[in-house]
């Protein structure tokens, strides 16, 4: 059993993927080939935004947005305490200060009530200038973007949606990666839409921001790559990855997303009486990047981890440390007063295998093992 069975997905899509790669080889346009532009157009249409600008990875995507917004030393950027390291890392790379905000236990996403308290506290202290909120669509469930946008408007802040895990999710039919002033995603292989290497993208309806991102991703180019008008990065999605992603996006839209959403409901129905299962608020849809349950305490969680390992069932803990516990951020970040939920989740969460190609017998084995060891 695989946690994310990329081999099985490849066998299912092998004919189309092999043909797409061969087409790139035949055409010989390995950088900025037509497939890159075609993929960007198709993904922008799916998400429902004007611009999709692909790049080398999701971390670069966030970094370039912060560069375009001139986020710098003295600025405060509000990020959830329970997320992957890069969400805060990109802030520190700009010399700005991440301000960690606790999350909600039921959704794993940033707590908007605590977010506003953190903004008000930062303003009151007067040492930093609040500039940006980075809500994360954790495990595939969109953050509370509607409420976050109200807060951002109230305090004149920008919003960067971290949709690295969010593709396929939605709120009232509005797709993840279409919220805020800009959004980003990742095409890391294990993501809902993954390539065979690294890749990422920026989404926005802002024409000026889109042009700046296009410049930043190629060394800050102006009219051509030898006319450099700003300091940028070398951050392009290569043509072979774009060709692969075109095939995968088609499968994602036609079958894969619906399948994982169906399995999400099956898992919840079977496990809800045994463990604390993921929440799905009304009018929300999830892209199910990870199926994550909560146990009562760290001892019960570790007991289940050992049990799953004993029957050769892969499982992972996302995340064993929250942001305020990361040594690298000790001297460049600020903790909110209450981060208790994030700290507790690190001791109690476990993610189980769930992907569009999982077999029924594997699902039954997972359920039996969870019930036995919990």
Span 167-224, pLDDT tens digits: 999 999 999 999 999 999 999 999 999 999 999 999 999 999 999 999 999 999 999 8
Rounded distance between C-alpha atoms, residue 70 and residue 234, angstroms:
18
Task: Find, among 122, 107, 127, the residue nearest to 155 by Cα.
Answer: 122
Rounded distance between C-alpha atoms, residue 219 and residue 250, angstroms:
31
- The answer to whether the beta carbons of residues 74 and 128 sit under 8 Å apart is yes
Q: Cβ–Cβ contacts within 10 Å for residue 304, how many? A: 21
Q: Looking at residue 357, what is its pLDDT? A: 97
What's the distance, Cα to Cα, between the start and end of the chain in Å? 21
Ranges of the chain whose pLDDT falls below 50: none
Q: Looking at residue 225, what is its pLDDT? A: 83
**pLDDT, tens digit, for every residue of 124-149?**
999 999 999 999 999 999 999 999 99
**Strand ranges (DSSP E) for the chain?**
51-55, 75-80, 97-101, 129-133, 158-162, 170-171, 174-175, 182-186, 200-204, 284-285, 291-294, 334-335, 349-352
Average predicted confidence (pLDDT) for the chain: 97
Between CA 53 and CA 206, with CA 186 as vertex, the angle to 5 degrees is 30
Paired tokens of 284: 């929300």
Q: Determine if the pTM surpasses 0.85.
A: yes
Strand ordering across the sheet containing 174-175: 174-175, 170-171, 284-285
Find the helix or strand (DSSP H, E) in which 207 lies: helix 207-216
φ, ψ (nearest 5 deg) of residue 335:
-95, 140
Rounded distance between C-alpha atoms, residue 267 and residue 250, angstroms:
25
Q: Which domains does the chain have, with CATH numbers?
A: 6-101+108-248 (3.40.640.10), 255-373 (3.90.1150.10)
């Amino acid at each position: 059993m695989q946690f994310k069975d990329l081999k099985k997905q490849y066998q299912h899509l092998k004919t189309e993927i092999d043909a797409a790669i061969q087409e790139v080889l035949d055409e010989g346009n390995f950088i900025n080939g037509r497939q890159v532009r075609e993929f960007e157009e198709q993904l922008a249409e799916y998400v429902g935004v004007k611009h999709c600008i692909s790049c080398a990875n999701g971390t670069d995507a966030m970094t370039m947005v912060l560069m375009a917004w001139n986020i710098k030393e003295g600025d405060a950027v509000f990020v959830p305490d329970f997320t992957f390291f890069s969400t805060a890392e990109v802030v520190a790379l700009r010399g700005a200060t991440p301000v960690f905000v606790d999350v909600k236990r039921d959704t794993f996403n940033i707590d908007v009530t605590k977010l506003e308290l953190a903004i008000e506290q930062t303003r009151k202290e007067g040492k930093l200038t609040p500039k940006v909120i980075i809500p994360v669509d954790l495990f595939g469930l969109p953050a509370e973007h509607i409420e976050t946008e109200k807060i951002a408007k109230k305090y004149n802040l920008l919003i960067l949606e971290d949709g690295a895990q969010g593709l396929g999710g939605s709120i009232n039919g509005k797709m993840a990666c279409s919220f805020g002033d800009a959004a980003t995603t990742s095409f890391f292989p294990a993501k809902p839409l993954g390539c065979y290497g690294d890749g990422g993208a920026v989404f926005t309806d802002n024409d000026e921001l889109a042009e700046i991102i296009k410049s930043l991703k190629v060394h800050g180019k102006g009219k051509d790559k030898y006319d450099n008008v700003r300091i940028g990065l070398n951050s392009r999605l290569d043509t072979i990855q774009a060709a692969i992603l075109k095939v995968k996006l088609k499968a994602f839209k036609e079958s894969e997303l619906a399948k994982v959403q169906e399995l999400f409901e099956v898992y919840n129905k079977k496990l809800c009486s045994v463990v604390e299962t993921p929440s799905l608020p009304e009018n929300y849809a999830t892209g199910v990047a990870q199926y994550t349950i909560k146990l009562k305490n760290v001892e019960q969680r570790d007991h289940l981890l050992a049990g799953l390992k004993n029957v050769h069932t892969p499982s992972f803990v996302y995340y064993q440390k929250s942001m305020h516990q990361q040594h690298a951020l000790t001297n460049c970040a600020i903790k909110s007063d209450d981060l208790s939920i994030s700290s507790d989740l690190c001791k109690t969460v476990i993610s189980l295998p769930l992907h569009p190609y999982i077999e029924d017998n594997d699902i039954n084995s997972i359920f039996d093992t969870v019930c036995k060891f919990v």
